[in-house]
C-alpha cells in the first residue's frame, strides 16, 4: 500500500531530477554557444587595429609582411561569384525537378542518395577531383574557372536541399488553382511557385555560397596562388583567396606580423558573417510576411 | 500555343537534366579519383602500402599511420561532439522556450559556417599554447588539439540533424506520455528520444563523417607527424590524418609520379569511407520514411 506521503515524495524527487536535468542541458548548450561568441569577439578585437583603407585596397608588399590584401579579397569575390553562376541554376533546377516533377521511383531515390553522398564527400577530395578533371584533363590550369567549378559541385547539395524545402513549403492549392486556370506546369512553377519560394531559395543559396567562400581545401590545387600581387585578368588566371591567404600567412611565412594575420582573419570573418546575417534576415522577414 | 509547348519541352528537359546531374557528379568524382589513384596499387608493393612508415621522399608509402591518425582524431572529436551536440539538440528542441530557440538555431548555424581555416588559425595562435602550458607537454600541436577543434566543427551538423529528428516526433507522443503522469524529463528520455532514434543516429554518423573529412583545421593544429598511434597517449602527441596529408603534399608532387598517385589513392579511401557512412545514413532516412508512411496509412 502506497500512502500519499510517499507519492508526494516521489513526485518531488522526479521534479528535482527534471530540474537538474534541464539545468545540465542548458549548461551544455551554453558551453557550445560561448566559444562561438568568443571566437567572433576575439577576432574582432585583435583584427580591428589592422584594418585600414590601405590594408583593404593595396597589394601585399615585402613578402606579404606589409601592405594590403586586396588581391585576396578580389579573388574570393570572383570565386564566390563564379560558384554562384554555376551552382545556382544547376541546384535550383535540380530542386525544381525533385519537388515538382519527379515521381517517387527508384531513380529519384538514387538521385537523393547521390545528393546525400555529395554532401558528405570531404572537401579535400573535391580538390583532388577538381585537379584531376578541370585542371589537368580539361586543361583549364590552376584557374578561377577550375576553382569555381570545383566549389560549385561541392555547394550543390546545400542549394538543392534548401531550395527543395522552400518549394515544398508552397501550398499545393496554389498549383492546383494555376493549373485549373489553364497554366502549364512550367508556367505554374515560373509565375506562382518560384516567386513564393524565392526568399527561402535565396537564403539557401547564400548559406551555400558562404561555405564556398570560406573553403580552402577545394581551391588548394585548383585555383589558389601562393602570392600573386595583381588582379586576375581572366577566368583562366590563378588567384589569391582570403581563406588560402590566411592559411599561407599563418603557417607558411616565417616572421609574419600577428597584426596582419588577425586583420586577414577579420576580413574573412566579416565576409562570411555578412552573408550569414543577410540570409538570416531574409528568412525571418519572409516568415513574418508570409500569408500562408 | 505551339511556341509554349516547345519552350515547355526544352525547359522540362533541362530541369530533368539538372535533377540527374548529381548522379553524374558522384560518378565522375569516383572515376577521376580512380583514374589518377589506381596506378598506385600497381606501383607500390602491397607490403609497403600497409607498412607503418609514410615517408614518400624515400619511397615509403605506408598508409597505416595516416589511417590511424584519422581514426584517432575522429574518435577524439566524436567523444567531444556527440554528447555536447545531442544535449544541445535536446535543449533546443524540447526545453528552450520559443524565443530562445529562435536565437540559438542561427547561432549554431553560424558555427557551422565559420571557415575551418579560421578555426585552425585560432587553434595555432590561441589554443595550442594554452594546451601546451596547461598539460605541460612539449608541443601544443597534437591530436588532442585537433580533436577539440574538430569536435566544435562536428557539433553544428549533429545539432541540426538531431534537432530536426526530435522536432519530427509527433506532438501526440509527448501529450500521451505527459497525460500518463510522466514528467517532461521522463518524456524526453523514454518517449521522444527513442522515437527519434534513427534520426539521432543519422546525426551522429553525419557528424563523424564531417570530422573525418575536415582538412584545414587538422592540417594546421595536429603537428603533422605521420606516426602510427598505438596507445591512447598518442592523443597528446602530434599526428597526421589522411586529409591533411593530401592537402599538405599535393602541392609539391610531380603530376604522374608514384607519390602523386598515392595521394589520389588516399583520396579514394576517403571517398569510400564517406560513401559507406552516407549510404548508411541515407538507408536509415529512407527506412524511417517508409515506417512513417506505414503508420500513417
pLDDT in tens, B235-264: 788 888 999 999 988 888 888 888 999 999
Contacts of B123 (CB under 8 A, 6+ apart): B145, B146, B149, B217, B220, B221
Residues within 8 A of B (CB atoms), A 9-48 only: 14-15, 17-18, 21-22, 24-26, 28-29, 31-33, 35-36, 39-40, 42-43
Closest CA to B195 of B218, B214, B175, B222: B175
Q: Which residues pair with A67 in a beta bridge?
A: A60
What CATH number does the domain containing A236 carry?
1.10.3720.10
Cβ–Cβ contact A90 with B under 8 A: yes
* Closest-CA distance of chain A to residue B234, Å: 23
Residue ranges and CATH numbers for the domains of chain B are: 38-296 (1.10.3720.10)
C-alpha–C-alpha distance, residues A184 and B4, integer Å: 9
C-alpha–C-alpha distance, residues B59 and B74, integer Å: 28
Nearest Cβ partner of A90 from B11, B21, B263? Answer: B21
Cα–Cα distances in Å, from A52 out to A246, A275, A289?
Answer: 18, 22, 39
Give the CA-trace dihedral at B269, B273, B276, B280, to 10 degrees.
180
- Say if A151 falls within a structural domain: yes
pLDDT tens for the 292 residues of chain A, in order: 678 888 888 888 888 888 899 999 999 999 888 888 889 999 999 999 888 888 888 888 777 777 888 888 999 999 999 999 999 999 999 999 999 898 888 899 999 999 989 998 999 999 999 999 999 999 998 899 999 999 999 999 999 999 998 999 888 888 888 889 988 888 899 888 999 899 889 988 998 999 999 999 999 889 888 877 777 778 888 888 999 999 998 888 887 888 889 999 999 999 999 998 888 888 888 877 776 6
**Structural domains counted in chain A:** 1
Q: Do B29 and A126 touch (CB under 8 A)?
A: yes
Q: Do B125 and A127 touch (CB under 8 A)?
A: no
* Mean pLDDT taken over chain B: 87
- Say if A75 falls within a structural domain: yes
Q: Do B122 and A42 touch (CB under 8 A)?
A: yes
Number of H helices, E strands in chain A: 12, 2
Which residues form the domain of A194?
70-289
* Closest-CA distance of chain A to residue B11, Å: 8
- Residue B275 with chain A: CB contacts under 8 Å: 117, 120
C-alpha–C-alpha distance, residues B74 and B80, integer Å: 10
- Say if A197 falls within a structural domain: yes
pLDDT in tens, B82-124: 999 999 999 999 899 989 988 888 888 888 888 999 999 999 9
Q: For the complex shown, is ipTM > 0.85?
A: yes
* B60: helix, strand or coil: strand
Q: Which residues pair with A241 in a beta bridge?
A: none
Angle in degrees, 0-180, between the axes of helices B143-167 and B197-213, rounded to the nearest 10: 150
Q: Do B91 and A29 touch (CB under 8 A)?
A: yes
Q: Do A120 and B274 touch (CB under 8 A)?
A: yes
CB A79 within 8 A of CB A219: yes
Q: What is the helix (H) or strand (E) element at residue A61, kind and residue range?
A: strand A60-61
Preferred mutation among A109, A163, A164, A217 to probe B, highest tally of B CBs within 10 A:
A217
Amino acid at each position: 500500500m502506497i500512502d500519499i506521503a510517499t507519492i508526494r515524495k516521489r513526485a518531488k524527487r522526479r521534479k528535482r531530477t527534471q530540474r537538474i536535468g534541464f539545468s545540465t542541458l542548458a549548461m551544455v548548450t551554453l558551453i557550445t554557444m560561448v566559444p562561438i561568441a568568443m571566437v567572433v569577439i576575439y577576432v574582432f578585437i585583435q583584427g580591428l587595429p589592422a584594418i585600414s583603407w590601405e590594408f583593404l585596397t593595396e597589394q601585399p608588399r615585402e613578402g606579404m609582411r606589409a601592405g594590403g590584401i586586396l588581391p585576396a579579397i578580389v579573388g574570393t569575390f570572383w570565386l564566390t561569384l563564379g560558384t554562384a553562376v554555376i551552382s545556382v541554376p544547376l541546384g535550383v533546377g535540380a530542386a525544381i525537378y525533385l519537388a515538382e516533377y519527379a515521381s517517387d521511383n527508384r531513380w529519384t531515390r538514387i538521385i537523393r542518395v547521390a545528393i546525400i553522398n555529395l554532401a558528405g564527400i570531404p572537401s579535400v577530395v573535391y580538390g583532388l577531383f577538381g585537379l584531376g578533371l578541370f585542371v589537368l584533363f580539361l586543361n583549364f590550369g590552376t584557374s578561377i574557372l577550375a576553382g569555381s567549378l570545383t566549389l560549385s559541385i561541392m555547394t550543390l547539395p546545400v542549394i538543392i536541399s534548401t531550395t527543395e524545402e522552400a518549394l515544398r513549403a508552397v501550398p499545393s492549392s496554389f498549383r492546383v488553382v494555376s493549373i485549373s486556370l489553364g497554366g502549364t506546369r512550367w508556367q505554374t512553377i515560373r509565375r506562382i511557385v518560384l516567386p513564393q519560394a524565392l526568399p527561402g531559395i535565396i537564403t539557401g543559396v547564400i548559406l551555400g555560397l558562404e561555405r564556398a567562400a570560406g573553403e580552402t581545401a577545394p581551391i588548394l590545387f585548383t585555383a589558389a596562388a601562393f602570392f600573386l600581387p595583381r588582379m586576375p585578368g581572366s577566368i583562366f588566371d590563378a588567384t589569391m583567396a582570403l581563406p588560402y591567404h590566411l592559411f599561407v600567412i599563418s603557417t607558411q611565412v616565417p616572421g609574419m606580423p600577428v597584426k596582419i594575420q588577425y586583420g586577414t582573419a577579420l576580413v574573412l570573418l566579416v565576409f562570411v558573417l555578412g552573408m550569414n546575417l543577410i540570409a538570416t534576415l531574409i528568412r525571418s522577414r519572409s516568415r513574418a510576411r508570409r500569408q500562408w | 500555343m505551339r511556341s509554349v509547348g516547345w519552350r515547355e519541352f526544352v525547359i522540362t528537359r533541362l530541369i530533368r537534366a539538372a535533377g540527374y546531374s548529381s548522379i553524374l557528379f558522384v560518378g565522375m568524382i569516383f572515376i577521376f579519383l580512380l583514374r589518377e589513384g589506381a596506378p598506385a596499387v600497381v606501383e607500390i608493393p602491397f607490403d609497403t602500402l600497409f607498412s607503418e612508415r609514410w615517408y614518400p621522399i624515400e619511397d615509403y608509402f605506408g598508409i597505416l599511420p595516416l589511417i590511424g591518425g584519422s581514426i584517432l582524431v575522429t574518435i577524439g572529436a566524436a567523444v567531444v561532439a556527440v554528447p555536447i551536440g545531442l544535449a544541445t539538440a535536446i535543449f533546443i528542441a524540447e526545453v528552450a522556450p520559443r524565443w530562445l530557440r529562435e536565437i540559438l538555431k542561427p547561432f549554431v548555424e553560424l558555427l557551422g559556417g565559420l571557415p575551418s581555416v579560421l578555426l585552425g588559425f585560432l587553434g595555432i595562435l590561441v589554443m595550442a599554447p594554452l594546451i601546451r602550458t596547461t598539460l605541460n607537454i612539449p608541443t601544443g600541436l597534437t591530436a588532442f588539439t585537433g580533436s577539440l577543434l574538430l569536435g566544435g566543427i562536428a557539433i553544428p551538423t549533429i545539432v541540426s540533424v538531431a534537432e530536426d529528428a526530435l522536432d519530427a516526433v509527433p506532438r501526440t507522443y509527448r501529450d500521451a506520455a505527459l497525460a500518463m503522469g510522466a514528467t517532461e524529463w521522463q518524456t524526453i528520455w523514454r518517449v521522444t528520444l527513442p522515437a527519434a532514434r534513427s534520426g539521432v543516429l543519422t546525426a551522429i554518423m553525419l557528424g563523424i563523417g564531417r570530422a573525418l573529412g575536415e582538412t584545414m583545421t587538422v592540417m594546421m593544429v595536429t603537428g603533422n607527424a605521420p606516426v602510427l598511434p598505438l596507445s591512447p597517449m598518442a592523443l597528446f602527441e602530434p599526428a597526421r590524418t589522411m586529409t591533411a596529408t593530401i592537402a599538405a603534399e599535393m602541392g609539391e608532387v610531380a603530376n604522374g609520379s608514384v607519390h602523386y598517385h598515392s595521394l589520389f589513392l588516399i583520396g579514394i579511401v576517403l571517398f569510400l569511407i564517406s560513401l559507406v557512412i552516407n549510404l548508411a545514413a541515407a538507408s536509415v532516412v529512407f527506412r524511417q520514411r517508409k515506417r512513417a508512411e506505414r503508420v500513417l496509412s
